[in-house]
Amino acid sequence: MMDLELSRLPGLGPSRLQALEKAGVRTLRDLVMRLPVAYRDLTAPTPLAEVRPGLECAVLARVVGDATEQRAPRLLITRARIADASGDTVAVWYNQPWLKKQLHSGRELLLYGRFSIRRGEMQLVCPSIERERGIVPVYKAVAGVPPRAMRQAVRAALEVGRGQWPDELPEGLKRRYGLCERNFALYNAHFPLNAESLSAARRRIAFEELLLYQVALSLLRSDARVGVRLEFPDSEIENFWKLLAFPPTGAQRRALYEMANDMRANAPMARLLQGDVGSGKTAVAFGAMYLTWKSGFQAALMAPTEVLAQQHYQDALSLLAPLGARVGLLTGSLTKKQHALAHEALATGEWDIVIGTHALITEGVSYQNLGLVVTDEQHRFGVRQRTKLGQKGESPNVLVMSATPIPRTLSLILYGDLDLSILDEMPPGRTPVKTRVVPESRRQDMYGFVMQKVREGRQAYVICPLVDKSEAVEARDAQELYAELVGLLPKARVSLVHGRMKAAEKDALLEAFRAGESDVLVSTTVVEVGVNVPNASVMVVENAERFGLAQLHQLRGRVGRGQYESWCFLVAEPNERLRLLAQTSDGFKIAEKDMELRGPGELFGERQSGIPAIGLSMLAGDTQLLKITHDEARALMKRPQDAETRQVVALARRAFLGRLEDVALN
Ligand code: ADP
Ligand code: MG
């Protein structure tokens, strides 16, 4: 029933079906399980007199006079004046030629969008014209399926499957936690009757997924395995620290010591190293690789991008190669022949240490005696990937590193299978990045400042507004911003990187920026991860209010990596969240606050995989539920013979074990 094909639904023609299929949506179940990423409350439009910049809301207003069109290269701007009883404003759309016809004078429209000040004028930017009232779901965009068609299809799918979503959570459990019924939850998660039913629906869905995930993790943990066991004296740890150009921080020392002890024990290490951007995780990882090599085993380090792999490779060459370690690089861009040679070098043990990308875990790579696997920026990899590498040898030690500070409660849940080391101390001599919130009215001053820094020989990043539309829209926005900056900063060499480019092209541009061949890098958030350009001292983030605090903190970490005083400008109207960021540089404090304000689902963005993403996104602000499900999972596992436990275990196996099987880290 639930696996019925989508072609039976009204409004889905062949091209839309194909588009959905491309997005992984094939059955009714797929469609219904694709829960909204946000909701629009259209129940109470805001009077125009009460709007302010940065506010995203619904307004009910009439078109005043005729809409106008203005053409620029590759850009059509449609503008209409709109008014309600309380006031008026201007609404603006880009590249929507069909709109003007609909915007005839006197027509009343329910619009939903964000207000912003552009060139000194308040505007409602690219609002959608809404036909429904109520709380409306917003889905992650699928190219080729307009939002309205998506809503229609989901509604139809829910109708077809009415009452058919079996509820298998034990009754007792539901009663104890006051959870609503599953059919009710699914319907209301998409089309809430009201705010209360939405929150009951979210709670139910979040509870189920988080509980099952944690039960699944604890099932894995119980299969303890024997792993690679290293032997080395403590003096080797000291020897390593002496190799570096700087004394380690106390936190680095502690972390490496924890790892050393893990690796000397019988069970394989499974450890998460968390530390803010710039806290020096690489050195600790290299320490673990050094100890592994010294004990006669191979070590592999996997980075999420080619650029990062290159960077680590250079570091490994200069640090470890002089000691006699044979260091290799294995990435996707190698030629076929180089690949073959690399594979052989790993299989025969000719390489002691290998740095690479996904290529490290593709089929056909085998190791002679893999003792340690490190994955950098772990949040970029799915659980599957992080563990696939772990299976390449006889249960090697595993170290995963993440620069996303995660609140303790959350990491307990997500990485219940991992021990945790935290680098909570920055290397000395860092001056925190000076962070300022820049309202639209100060934009010109900010560009003046950027130009001054460029003249002093520094480099700057400009990050484009985050849009949750499509990559195409994102790329277009980036191009507009790029064109604007080229005009505004005629003396600077400006370059552009966006998500629609081929990986090789992106990498080449990033590399050129790193080499100082461009002064200003305009980019979508693709550079968020670990690029290290010490000469870059300015970070500008457009529409900063759209980003999560943790994400902004990450972006900010791209600067302040060298000896220069560094600045981060958040272009947005000031608010409490952004001010917090300007005041503190403590990533954990920021992550806690972000979780409180936006819910844990937002901490990771979309790229995170292998986590109970639906559960987290449905959690909204209800972080209490993290602890509640954690405790309940434990309680259930303490009485394994209980009927309730057995029922939940069966559900957890079905829901997660397929996905987590390879996670058996210890
Ligand atoms: P991240 O934790 O973001 O991966 P890195 O490992 O890239 O941070 O380190 C950031 C910079 O700090 C590097 O240039 C590194 O050489 C330097 N560094 C690391 N540890 C120390 C230390 N104890 N003292 C001084 N500089 C350090
Ligand atoms: Mg790093």
Q: What per-residue confidence (pLDDT) applies to 475?
A: 62
The rounded distance, in Å, linking the Cα atoms of 510 and 532 is 10
Count other C-beta atoms under 10 Å from residue 548's C-beta.
22
Query: Beta partners for 130?
Result: 110
Q: What per-residue confidence (pLDDT) applies to 664?
A: 32
Q: What per-residue confidence (pLDDT) applies to 607?
A: 41
Which residue has the least CA distance to atom 17 on ligand 1?
Answer: 280
Which residue has the least CA distance to atom 16 on ligand 1?
Answer: 280
- Ligand 1 atom with the smallest distance to the CA of 248 is 23
Q: Which ligand is nearest to the CA of 425?
A: 1
Which residue has the least CA distance to atom 24 on ligand 1?
Answer: 427
Q: What per-residue confidence (pLDDT) applies to 516?
A: 94
Q: What per-residue confidence (pLDDT) applies to 393?
A: 46
Cβ within 8 Å of residue 318, ≥6 positions away: none
Residues 572, 446 contacting (CB under 8 angstroms): no
The rounded distance, in Å, linking the Cα atoms of 246 and 32 is 55
567: three-class secondary structure by DSSP = strand
Which residue has the least CA distance to atom 1 on ligand 1?
Answer: 278
Parallel, antiparallel, or unpaired for β 567-571 and 434-438? parallel
2: three-class secondary structure by DSSP = coil
Which sign, positive or negative, has the C-alpha torsion 52, 602, 616, 113? positive
Tokens 């849940």 belong to which residue?
A: 413
The rounded distance, in Å, linking the Cα atoms of 14 and 657 is 34
447 Cα: distance to centroid of ligand 1 (angstroms): 30
Two tokens, residue 241: 């620290």
Q: Which ligand is nearest to the CA of 561?
A: 1
The rounded distance, in Å, linking the Cα atoms of 649 and 169 is 11
- Ligand 1 atom with the smallest distance to the CA of 279 is 2
The rounded distance, in Å, linking the Cα atoms of 645 and 660 is 19
Q: Which ligand is nearest to the CA of 532?
A: 1
Two tokens, residue 268: 């394989």
Which residue has the least CA distance to atom 14 on ligand 1?
Answer: 561
Length of the chain: 666
Pocket of ligand 1 contains residue 278 by CB under 6 Å: yes
Two tokens, residue 168: 């298998």
- Name which of 363, 365, 322, 320 is nearest 342 in CA terms: 365
Q: What per-residue confidence (pLDDT) applies to 495?
A: 93
Which sign, positive or negative, has the C-alpha torsion 463, 465, 466, 468? negative
Pocket mutation for ligand 1, best pick of 241, 279, 399 (most atoms within 8 Å of C-beta): 279
Pocket of ligand 1 contains residue 287 by CB under 6 Å: no
- Ligand 1 atom with the smallest distance to the CA of 284 is 6
382: three-class secondary structure by DSSP = coil
Query: Beta partners for 5?
Result: 27
The rounded distance, in Å, linking the Cα atoms of 317 and 323 is 10
Q: What is the DSSP string of 29-75?
A: HHHHHS--SEEEE-SSPPPGGG--TT-EEEEEEEEEEEEEEEEETTE
The rounded distance, in Å, linking the Cα atoms of 287 and 308 is 18
402 Cα: distance to centroid of ligand 2 (angstroms): 8
The rounded distance, in Å, linking the Cα atoms of 189 and 203 is 10
Pocket of ligand 1 contains residue 248 by CB under 6 Å: yes
Residues 537, 511 contacting (CB under 8 angstroms): no
281 Cα: distance to centroid of ligand 1 (angstroms): 7
**3-class DSSP string for 612-645:** CHHHHHHHCCCCHHHHHHHHHHHHHHHCCCCHHH
Low-confidence spans in the chain with pLDDT less than 50:
1, 380-388, 390, 392-393, 605-609, 661-666
Residues 81, 88 contacting (CB under 8 angstroms): yes
Pocket of ligand 1 contains residue 285 by CB under 6 Å: no
Cβ within 8 Å of residue 237, ≥6 positions away: 256, 257, 260, 287, 291
The rounded distance, in Å, linking the Cα atoms of 332 and 327 is 17
Which stretch of DSSP H or E encloses residue 91?
strand 88-94
Pocket of ligand 1 contains residue 314 by CB under 6 Å: no
Cβ within 8 Å of residue 656, ≥6 positions away: 212, 213, 216
Pocket of ligand 1 contains residue 404 by CB under 6 Å: no
Pocket of ligand 1 contains residue 427 by CB under 6 Å: yes
Q: What per-residue confidence (pLDDT) applies to 384?
A: 41
Two tokens, residue 652: 């957890």
CB-facing half-sphere around the CA of 50: CA atoms within 13 A: 10
74 Cα: distance to centroid of ligand 2 (angstroms): 39
Task: For the chain, count helices (H), then strands (E).
Answer: 24, 20
The rounded distance, in Å, linking the Cα atoms of 548 and 598 is 8
Which stretch of DSSP H or E encloses residue 658?
helix 658-660
Pocket mutation for ligand 1, best pick of 240, 241, 243, 246 (most atoms within 8 Å of C-beta): 246
Cβ within 8 Å of residue 288, ≥6 positions away: 256, 259, 260, 263, 299, 372, 374, 397, 399
The amino acid sitting at 367 is: Y
Pocket of ligand 1 contains residue 555 by CB under 6 Å: no
531 Cα: distance to centroid of ligand 2 (angstroms): 8
Two tokens, residue 462: 């400009």
Query: Beta partners for 123?
Result: 90, 116
Pocket of ligand 1 contains residue 249 by CB under 6 Å: yes
Pocket mutation for ligand 1, best pick of 243, 256, 279, 282 (most atoms within 8 Å of C-beta): 282
Q: What per-residue confidence (pLDDT) applies to 383?
A: 44
